[in-house]
Amino acid sequence: MTVLEIPAGSLFGLRNLPYGVFQPKDSAPRVGVRVGDWVVDLAATLGDDVFAQSTLNAFMAQGRARWTEVRRQVTELVQDGVAETAVFAVDEVTMHLPVAIADYVDFYASENHATNLGRLFRPDSEPLMPNWKHLPVGYHGRSSTVIVSGTDVVRPCGQRKPPGQSVPDFGPSRRLDIEAEMGFIVGVPTKLGETIAPDRFAEHVFGAVVVNDWSARDIQAWEYVPLGPFLGKSFATSISPWVVPLDALEAARIDTPTQDPEPLPYLRGEEKWGLDIDLVVEWNGHIVSRPPYSQMYWSPAQMLAHTTINGAAASTGDLFASGTISGREKNERGAFIELTWGGKEPVTIGDQTRTFLEDGDEISISATAPGVNGTRIGFGEVRSRILPATGGMQE
Ligand code: MN
């Protein structure tokens, strides 16, 4: 037996304990929990087959009582000692997509982001549409192109129509962008016709990940009217490999900013589900932004309530993301179209400047939050590199 040494100040101490799907060399993917710089093999230590699988879905479907029980068991296990054969160094295993994604929905919950994008996309009208403060605006994304951190992203091709050009042409996106977001994963499903009130959020939602919602702004700007984003978003959405359970976020829970006008009753709840999470965006290793989740207008509990209020079923593995997180300050903007103001104000990264992504660029988005007893917990990062457009898509 070995008692795991956790470095002082680790973002992966006993107050965090995120779950992921890992694969040691020469054996099958399975569920593990991260402790310090180690992964503990849960199939080997807890003897439940739900952990011998290549996704978290079966465990997530077991529900909150079971999640709480496993968290207690893991805490004891780590304190008492774990069989050496069930412990792996985190940098010696491959991390997989942790969840078989069911439906994927993306919201637009940052008032700063929605206002900035409104100004950029529709300069001659009110930046916020009339519905924005009455409901969390969202769209259905493409679950089959949700990918795990470390997976390269190929520059998409599509229709582009720059201003001043009367008809569209076709080719690789010239305005490839990121969106720094948090994503929430449903564990306990509902039946068709049921709804999930905001105060039932924690009964259904298992945990959270960091999301990079890649966005081809030129394709998006031309296609999005009137039904919303489609091919400008659906080519890739990246998530971090470690799912931080809601139980680890107790100390991060805060009120959302004041919501005025007051939302309709189905969007109101007693529980606080604003979250004090700090994100960091790195472009080729240089920090370019620090988006604060604490300023998000709509809470994830409101997003889930809105998603199900028409009776739409929620499924184990549903992923819903917050939308780009942008703070009030320029260096808190979570998308490059905002950070560079539509490409007019390049950012400096080392000895180079950038407006949108170039081939070979690498983006890392990471996040941390307060843990209990003055600790800090980490989500890890979502990191990807841009590859050139392929597939015989000539200009
Ligand atoms: Mn988005």
Q: Which residue has the tokens 């604060």?
A: 292
Query: Are 231 and 365 in a shared domain?
Result: yes
**Of the residues 67, 96, 125, the one at which a domain ends:** 96
Alpha helices in 122-214 (DSSP H): 201-204
Regarding whether 180 and 321 lie in a shared domain, the answer is yes
Instruction: Give the distance (Å) from ligand 1 centre to CA of residue 109.
Output: 10
Calculate the alpha carbon distances from 374 to 11, 15, 34, 240, 250 in Å: 12, 10, 20, 24, 12
325 lies in a domain?
yes
Identify whether residues 86 and 122 lie together within a single domain.
no
Residue 85 lies in a domain: yes
**Is residue 8 included in any domain, yes or no?**
no
- C-alpha angle with apex 137: 107 to 186, nearest 5 degrees? 45
> How many angstroms separate the first and last alpha carbons of the chain?
61
Distance CA 252, CA 118 (A): 30
Q: Rounded to whole angstroms, how far apart are CA atoms 286 and 132?
A: 33
End of a domain among 56, 76, 96? Answer: 96
The predicted pLDDT at position 393 comes to: 52
In this structure, the answer to whether residues 252 and 303 fall within a common structural domain is yes
Residues 6 or more apart in contact with residue 381 via CB below 8 angstroms:
149, 210, 240, 364, 365, 366
Q: How far is CA 86 from CA 3, 38, 42, 51, 391, in A?
A: 12, 10, 8, 13, 43
113, 134, 286, 306: which is the annotated catalytic residue?
113
The number of angstroms, rounded, from the C-alpha of 9 to the middle of its chain's C-alpha atoms is: 24
Q: What is the CATH number of the domain that holds 369?
A: 3.90.850.10
Residue 306 neighbours by CB under 8 Å, 6+ apart: 135, 136, 138, 266, 267
In this structure, is residue 13 part of a structural domain?
no
- Asked whether residue 378 falls in the same domain as residue 282, the answer is yes
Same domain, 242 and 383: yes
Two tokens, residue 22: 């890992």
Q: For residue 38, report the distance from its CA to the centre of ligand 1, in Å.
A: 32
Supply 113's token pair. Answer: 């982001």
Provide the pLDDT for residue 152: 98
| Residue 59's CATH number | 2.30.30.230
| Residues flanking ion ligand 1, Cβ below 5 Å | 106, 179, 213
Residues forming beta bridges with residue 292, ordered by sequence position: 278
- H or E element, residue 74: helix 64-80
Residue with tokens 């009964």: 203
3-class SS string, 129-147: CCCCCCCCCEEECCHHHEE
d(CA 242, CA 12): 10
| pLDDT at residue number 394 | 53
User: What residue type is 7 in one-letter code?
Assistant: P
- C-beta separation of 99 from 56 below 8 A: yes
Mean pLDDT, contiguous 10-residue spans, the chain (395 residues): 91 97 96 98 95 98 98 95 95 98 98 95 92 98 98 97 94 98 98 98 98 98 94 98 98 98 98 98 98 98 98 98 98 98 96 98 98 94 97 54
Please, which residues have CB within 8 angstroms of residue 96's CB and are 6 or more apart in sequence?
Answer: 20, 21, 22, 23, 29, 54, 148, 241
Amino acid identity for residue 311 in this structure: G
Helix H or strand E encompassing 216? strand 215-216
Q: What is the pTM of this model?
A: 0.97
Name which of 340, 343, 256, 344 is nearest 303 in CA terms: 256
Identify whether residues 23 and 129 lie together within a single domain: no
Whole-number Å distance, alpha carbon 212 to ligand 1 midpoint, is 8
Q: Does residue 151 sit in the same domain as residue 30?
A: no
In a domain, 3, yes or no: no
**DSSP conformation class of 71:** H
- 334 CA → ligand 1 middle, Å: 10
> How far does the centroid of ligand 1 lie from the alpha carbon of residue 77, in Å?
39
Over the range 7-40, which residues count as b (16 or more CB within 10 Å of their CB) and which as e?
eeebbbbbbbbbbbbbbbeeeebbbbbbbbebbb
Q: What spacing in Å lies between the alpha carbon of 107 and ligand 1's midpoint? A: 7
Is 10 contained in some domain? no
Model pLDDT, residue 222: 96
Its domain, for residue 50, covers 19-96
How many C-beta atoms lie closer than 10 Å to residue 226's C-beta? 4
395 domain residue, yes or no: no
Q: Based on the domain organization, do 254 and 347 belong to the same domain?
A: yes
Q: Indicate whether 394 belongs to any domain.
A: no
75 with 204, same domain: the answer is no
Number of domains in the chain: 2
Q: Which residues contact 310 (CB under 8 A, 6 or more apart)?
A: none
Question: Residue 52 C-alpha to ligand 1 middle, in angstroms?
Answer: 33
Clarify whether residues 112 and 188 are in a common domain: yes
For residue 391, what pLDDT is reported?
A: 61
Helix or strand or coil: residue 6?
coil
Tell me, in angstroms, the distance from the centre of ligand 1 to residue 265's CA.
Answer: 26
Per the annotation, the verdict on 96 as an active-site residue is no
How remote is the CA of residue 298 from the centroid of ligand 1, in Å?
14
Same domain, 210 and 280: yes
In three-state secondary structure terms, 189 is coil
Q: What separation in Å is there between the alpha carbon of 330 and the centre of ligand 1?
A: 18
Residue where a domain stops, chosen among 71, 96, 121: 96
